[in-house]
Amino acid sequence: MRRPVLAALVIVVGVLLLADFLVVNEALGEMAGVIVDAVILVAAGAALAGAAALAWRRGGDLWRRRGDPVGAILVLAGIGAMLVAGLRPGGEGASDPAVSWLIGALLVPIAATLFGLLFVTTLTAARRSLAGGHRDAIVLVAASLVTLVLLLPLGGAVGSWLAELGRWTLAVPVGAVFRGLLLGVAILTAVFAARTLLGIGATDD
């Protein structure tokens, strides 16, 4: 598909979805629903293609005896277990109890382990940043310590006061910073998308 055709398709789909969001129309809503379903199918196909490519690569590494054989076996075994649990005859797909058990017994502990490692690495990074004496690092670490104190699970009047102060801090100053960042990112994304679709390069400025 040529670039102008793809750009026109993106613009038409974007305008249609925006119109469906702003205008209440049954026919327009049905058309937007069809487009959203098509996008979901394309995303699902991309996810399946990515899983197949990962299995192919790990299988090739195992066949050629390169890389980490234990890791390759675990990846292939995990993919196979999820496929069998979700696609077995009489199963319920993604809502099958076997799939839920695999997610709860394997993926959740892995995620918890990664978050535990993240906590340790964050402390190490904070110590190194403070050792350098940089002003930005000191401000970041101080803000993190203040947030940690505000989110301590304390009871009584002190705990209620800290919880209320923490909610206000997240909603007002921190929320304002995040809203500013989101607005800036949205503006830059819109400008970059317009430049890309219109074929405007850096040399055209």
What digits encode the pLDDT tens for the residues 24-36?
A: 777 777 887 888 8
176-187 mean pLDDT: 86
- Is the predicted pLDDT of residue 202 greater than 70, yes or no? no
Instruction: Please state the domain extents for the chain.
Output: 1-87, 89-132, 150-197
Reported as a pLDDT band with limits 50, 70 and 90, residue 172 is confident
CA distance 67 to 114: 22
- What pLDDT does residue 60 have? 86
The structure's pTM equals 0.47
Q: How many CA atoms lie within 13 A of 81 on its CB side?
A: 15
155-169 mean pLDDT: 83
What digits encode the pLDDT tens for the residues 23-67?
A: 777 777 788 788 888 888 888 888 888 888 888 988 888 888 887
20 and 35 Cβ atoms separated by less than 8 Å? no
User: How open is the CA angle 52-88-43, to the nearest 5 degrees?
Assistant: 40
Burial (Cβ within 10 Å: 0-12, 13-18, ≥19) of residue 13: middle
- What pLDDT does residue 48 have? 83
What digits encode the pLDDT tens for the residues 73-128?
A: 888 888 888 888 877 777 777 777 888 888 888 778 888 888 888 878 888 888 88
- What pLDDT does residue 205 have? 54
Longest Cα pair distance anywhere in the chain, in angstroms? 65
76 and 55 Cβ atoms separated by less than 8 Å? yes
Q: State the DSSP code for 147.
A: H
